[in-house]
Chains A and B, each alone.
Chain A
Amino acid sequence: MSRDSVLVTADWAEKNLGADKVVFVEVDEDTTAYDGGHIPGAIKINWSTELQDQVRRDMVNKEQFEALLSAKGIANDDTVVLYGGNNNWFAAYAYWYFKLYGHEQVQLLDGGRKKWELDGRPYTKDVPQRPATNYVAKDQDLAIRAFRDDIVPSIGSHNLVDVRSPDEYAGRLAAPAHLPQEQAQRNGHIPTAISVPWSKAANEDGTFKSNEELKALYVAAGIDDDKPTVVYCRIGERSSHSWFALRELLGYSDVRNYDGSWTEYGSLIGVPIALGDEPGQA
Chain B
Amino acid sequence: MSIDGCGAPEQGAPLPASVDVEKETVITGVVSAEGGPVAGAYVRLLDSSGEFTAEVVTSPAGEFRFFAAPGTWTLRALSRAGNGDATVAADRGINNVAVSVGA
Contacts and interface: CB of A to CB of B under 8 A. Distances in A.
A165 B53 contact: yes
Nearest to A46: B7
Contacts of B42: 114, 118
Contacts of B18: 180
Q: What is the predominant secondary structure among interface residues of chain A facing chain B?
A: loop
Interface stretch (A61-69, A169-177, A220-228): A169-177
B31 interface: no
A124 to B, nearest CB: 16
A182 B20 CA distance: 12
A86 B8 contact: yes
A258 B3 CA distance: 15
A166 B51 contact: yes
Nearest to A182: B1
Most buried by A among B6, B23, B24, B49: B6
Contacts of A117: 40, 80
Chain B, interface size category, equals: 20 to 34
A177 B24 contact: no
B47 A167 contact: yes
Interface of A: 29-33, 48, 52, 57, 85-87, 114, 117-118, 120, 165-167, 172-173, 175-183, 197, 199, 204-205, 235, 237, 263
Interface of B: 1, 3-4, 6-9, 16, 18-19, 23-24, 40, 42, 44-45, 47, 49, 51-57, 65-69, 76, 78-80
30 contacts: A29-B6, A29-B7, A30-B7, A33-B57, A57-B3, A85-B8, A85-B57, A86-B8, A86-B55, A118-B79, A165-B47, A165-B52, A165-B53, A165-B54, A166-B51, A167-B69, A173-B68, A176-B54, A177-B45, A177-B53, A177-B66, A177-B67, A178-B56, A179-B6, A180-B1, A180-B16, A182-B1, A199-B52, A204-B44, A263-B3
